[in-house]
Structure 1
Amino acid sequence: MSDFQQQALKLAAQQQSPAWLADIRARAANDWSNVVWPTRKTEHWKYTPLASLQKNIPSTWSAQSSSPLNESQMISVDATRLVFINGVFDPASSSELPSEVVRFSQASSAQQEVIAQHLGKVVEGGQHLFATLNSAWLNDGILVHVSRNQVLAKPIYVVQVSTAESQTVSVNQRVLVVLEESAQAEIIEHYISTSDVQNSFVNALTEIVVGDNANLQHYRLNLEEENIQHIGAVHVNLQRNARLRAFTLALGSKLKRIDYQINHRGKGAELNLQGVYLPRNNQMVDYHSNVQHWVPNCTTSEVFRGIIGDSAQAIFNGRIYIHQDAQKTLAELSNKNLLTSAKAEINTKPELEIYADDVKCAHGATVSQLNATALYYLQSRGVSRTEAEVMMSFGFINELLEQISEPAVHDYLFPRLAELFGRDQTLLSMADE
């Protein structure tokens, strides 16, 4: 057992939680103690070493910060807002919760039954070791439960804020979304931090069940300071004719790994997953997606694009698995990458594994640099080389940004990406024309 595993078990023993979660936590802690720690020879962690976790092992749980929130970091959206600071719920910065939303620690007996029915059931923990750890560390979380034929009146906006601590700390975050038959909802998960050098390890897991004919729009934005360590996952079950439209964007950090595990469980389910990753400096970011088609007549459209600069590293591993009974499947996977520096690195591995004989599937990946001819064209019309590089880089991801259906999310990201690319918003508007 690694040093990190041993310390994680000590932290699990220190964690306080409602009594009804005790069995879930105990089983997860036992499973965690038996997992094999990943090495460079472990395929799913081949390019994502966990040495930084071993060097900076969290020594304690974080405490809620007394620092006031920076509202300029928040998305200006008419939504039900839940704010967690270092994993601790902040009622003063949060909205009054509707009946569809409850914290685990305040769940009624009926809500506890819903949580127990679905928590940890979308994906077996053995497949994702940090999901197992999340359950072992579980002390609170959020349940979003939308009943049959109901439409959530407002989006749910979950803000997870990290602040700098005097020592390396752990933050555990859990979200469970359950949409019953023909329900509709929009969820925005937003991970941010103060501008100070961060020293947290964040373990964040979201589980989603989209019922028959239900419709979910889900956003996951990781915009933390570059020294944070974040391992997260989104696990989804799609039932008959369920529809999930998902968008994820991540800046790089010292360690950032995000897994999407999506199961087509019912006929006619539809998935549209789009992602953007933008590591720079010495940052790294790793996206792993695994879409399982278990039944016939389902659709997957998955598109990820990355811009990697400076000495940054990105990893993308996208896998679509078509089981034998999943006839009439339509699945497409695309990963395109732009390297803006000679030292930037991308390891991409799109996978398509098919065991059905009546399907229509495609997958592919590209790695390129800025087009010299296009750069020359812009420069010949009075645009400086630096400005031309910015415009072309932004244009590479703008196609996905313009498909964001929530105006508040789009309007929030645009000026921040302008700042990230080092130029004003008017310049990027030129790239949009």
Structure 2
Amino acid sequence: MNLTTEYTGLKDSLLTDFQVWESQLAGGEKSTLHRVRREAIRQFDRLGFPTTKHEEWKYTNVGALTKQAFGFRSSTNLTVADVGALLVPHLEANVVVFVNGIYQPQLSRLVSPKADLRVEDFADAYQRDPAFVEQHFAQSAGYEHDAFTALSTAFAQHGAFIHVTDQKIIEHPVLLYFISDARSGNVASQPRNLFVVGRNSQVKIAEFFHTLGNNTSFTNAVTEITVEPNAYVEYYKVQEESEGAHHIGTTHITQLERSRSFSATITVQGGFVRNNLRVGLEGEHCEAHLFGLYLPDGKEHVDNHTVVDHAKPRSYSNELYKGILNGRATGVFNGKIFVRPDAQKTNAFQSNRNIILSDEASMNTKPQLEIFADDVKCSHGTTTGQLDEDALFYLRSRGIDADAAKSLLTVAFAGDVISQIHLPALREYIEQRVTRKLGQV
């Protein structure tokens, strides 16, 4: 493969890694999947990592990440007890564990009938049914303009493959745990996830990201979700990573006629986080709800980019993202709503609300509407400010000290998002994590 490698650092090492490993990747060098991989690695080479000169990365600098050296480690000594300490308590679920991006069947357990729900490693799914995987892989998460998605596509090997067959309501949620074990050195992982929810079916899926150890980790996660006609997906992403974690996450949800989606992205902790979420409403009468909560403090950086693309008539979307920033943290929210010419009778609403708790924290927010149809109802809004002084005074006048009053108000502010979580056990888990962090305010 003729690849130009004039750049040094992480990009150079990844191009070399691909040349070394490509024959070992799922499907082999002659497969359709691998032809896509080769196109993607060439595109990654052409694009390079984005800089702050790119409009989409104006406030998020990946320079520190690209200067790091990472190892890909496949072995693990984690036990069931180690993983158990990370699980959501009191929630009967299908549990699927990945350590450093590699599926760990000995740490996983499935409780739903296989006839209704197929959950397996991406590589195993491709070996079993290559035509089905090729039908959905890299269809919505395009790599033409996104270096990180191109990188993920080139190295697509491990990750979660979930297929819900038609006419099935999956009782038990699927919990995916992605654990970066950085205890013995810097580590990188690139989980590539592919979910297909069949016609008239329903499923709840949650992705959890954790870091063990104090070394640097790099997670480049891409998830593609297809929601077929009259189907429903409930999708959660929960990030509890370390200060040394670099997380680039991209999720694409494609909805067909009369399908519904719910998504909640909760960033409790993570040194450097960029979340990209795109929801494409490709059929009539679709419905999408997007929620987000981010709590950066210290020197943490959290960037959320969302796109809701209304392509067909008579669909509805509602989006609420809220942030609480402290210390020297930085936050970014960029939310776009597209209403295409054919998407008449669209209702689309977006709101971003932020509280700044320190003089050194900062937030950059940019809501956008691009409307090419005339019979629509759309709105967007954003606010960034401090805690309500009148509310603080009221609580203080009732004998509540200043720190406790701030904690009460910030937890209540976050509660608008937490209350939307439909799974009671998960809602309680998130509430505890958020309250614990905000209690340090």
User: Are the counterparts in 1 of residues 356 and 385 from structure 2 also a CA contact under 8 Å?
Assistant: yes
| 1:14-25 → structure 2 map (5 Å cutoff) | 14-15=20-21, 16-18=24-26, 19=28, 20=31, 21-25=33-37
What is the alpha-carbon distance in structure 2 between the residues aligned to residue 308 and residue 95 of structure 1?
A: 37
| 1:17-416 → structure 2 map (5 Å cutoff) | 17-18=25-26, 19=28, 20=31, 21-58=33-70, 60-68=71-79, 69-76=82-89, 77-96=91-110, 98-99=113-114, 100-107=118-125, 111-194=129-212, 196-416=213-433
Q: Deviations over 1:307-362 (max 9, x none)?
A: 00010000000000111111110000000000000111000000011110100000
Q: Which letter maps to 2:170?
A: L
Instruction: Give 1:12 deviation, angstroms.
Output: 2.2
User: Are the counterparts in 1 of residues 47 and 145 from structure 2 also a CA contact under 8 Å?
Assistant: no
User: Are the counterparts in 2 of residues 11 and 137 from structure 1 also a CA contact under 8 Å?
Assistant: no
Instruction: Give 1:251 deviation, angstroms.
Output: 3.0
Q: Deviations over 1:76-116 (max 9, x none)?
A: 22111110111122222101475321222222766322111
In structure 1, the partner of 2:3 is none
What is the alpha-carbon distance in structure 1 between the residues aligned to residue 223 and residue 406 of structure 2?
A: 36
User: Are the counterparts in 2 of residues 17 and 140 from structure 1 also a CA contact under 8 Å?
Assistant: no
User: Are the counterparts in 2 of residues 64 and 87 from structure 1 also a CA contact under 8 Å?
Assistant: no
What is the alpha-carbon distance in structure 2 between the residues aligned to residue 35 and residue 396 of structure 1?
A: 40
What is the alpha-carbon distance in structure 2 between the residues aligned to residue 139 and residue 70 of structure 1?
A: 23
Q: TM-score, normalised by structure 1?
A: 0.93
Q: Which letter maps to 1:57?
A: A
In the alignment, structure 1 segments of 5+ residues that lack a partner are: 425-433
User: Are the counterparts in 2 of residues 286 and 314 from structure 1 also a CA contact under 8 Å?
Assistant: yes
Q: Which letter maps to 1:44?
A: E
For structure 1, which segment, 276-285 or 398-407, has the greater mean C-alpha deviation from structure 2 after superposition?
398-407
**CA, structure 1 residues 338+2, in 2 after alignment: closer, same or farther (shift >3 Å)?**
farther
User: Are the counterparts in 1 of residues 93 and 110 from structure 2 also a CA contact under 8 Å?
Assistant: no
Instruction: Give 1:215 deviation, angstroms.
Output: 0.6
What is the alpha-carbon distance in structure 1 between the residues aligned to residue 318 and residue 370 of structure 2?
A: 15
**CA, structure 1 residues 421+207, in 2 after alignment: closer, same or farther (shift >3 Å)?**
same
What is the alpha-carbon distance in structure 1 between the residues aligned to residue 208 and residue 405 of structure 2?
A: 31
What is the alpha-carbon distance in structure 1 between the residues aligned to residue 151 and residue 333 of structure 2?
A: 23
Instruction: Give 1:119 deviation, angstroms.
Output: 0.6
**3-state SS of paired residue (1:106):** helix
User: Are the counterparts in 2 of residues 80 and 156 from structure 1 also a CA contact under 8 Å?
Assistant: yes
User: Are the counterparts in 2 of residues 213 and 240 from structure 1 also a CA contact under 8 Å?
Assistant: yes
What is the alpha-carbon distance in structure 2 between the residues aligned to residue 110 and residue 36 of structure 1?
A: 34
Q: Deviations over 1:6-44 (max 9, x none)?
A: 222122233332224422322211221111532221100
Q: Deviations over 1:125-151 (max 9, x none)?
A: 113221111011112222111122122
What is the alpha-carbon distance in structure 2 between the residues aligned to residue 413 and residue 109 of structure 1?
A: 37
What is the alpha-carbon distance in structure 2 between the residues aligned to residue 17 and residue 316 of structure 1?
A: 36
2:16 is the counterpart of 1:10: yes
What is the alpha-carbon distance in structure 1 between the residues aligned to residue 148 and residue 253 of structure 2?
A: 16
What is the alpha-carbon distance in structure 2 between the residues aligned to residue 110 and residue 168 of structure 1?
A: 33
Percent sequence identity over aligned pairs:
31
**3-state SS of paired residue (1:220):** strand
**CA, structure 1 residues 237+246, in 2 after alignment: closer, same or farther (shift >3 Å)?**
same
What is the alpha-carbon distance in structure 2 between the residues aligned to residue 249 and residue 350 of structure 1?
A: 19
User: Are the counterparts in 1 of residues 242 and 271 from structure 2 also a CA contact under 8 Å?
Assistant: no
**3-state SS of paired residue (2:144):** helix
**3-state SS of paired residue (1:62):** coil
What is the alpha-carbon distance in structure 2 between the residues aligned to residue 14 and residue 78 of structure 1?
A: 41
What is the alpha-carbon distance in structure 2 between the residues aligned to residue 104 and residue 72 of structure 1?
A: 26
User: Are the counterparts in 1 of residues 183 and 214 from structure 2 also a CA contact under 8 Å?
Assistant: no
What is the alpha-carbon distance in structure 2 between the residues aligned to residue 107 and residue 176 of structure 1?
A: 10
Q: Deviations over 1:263-303 (max 9, x none)?
A: 11000111000000010001000000011111111111010
Q: Which letter maps to 1:148?
A: D
Instruction: Give 1:422 deviation, angstroms.
Output: 2.9
**3-state SS of paired residue (1:212):** coil
Instruction: Give 1:165 deviation, angstroms.
Output: 4.5
Q: Which letter maps to 1:200?
A: S
**CA, structure 1 residues 286+366, in 2 after alignment: closer, same or farther (shift >3 Å)?**
same
Q: Deviations over 1:362-414 (max 9, x none)?
A: 00100010111211111111100011011111111112111210112111112
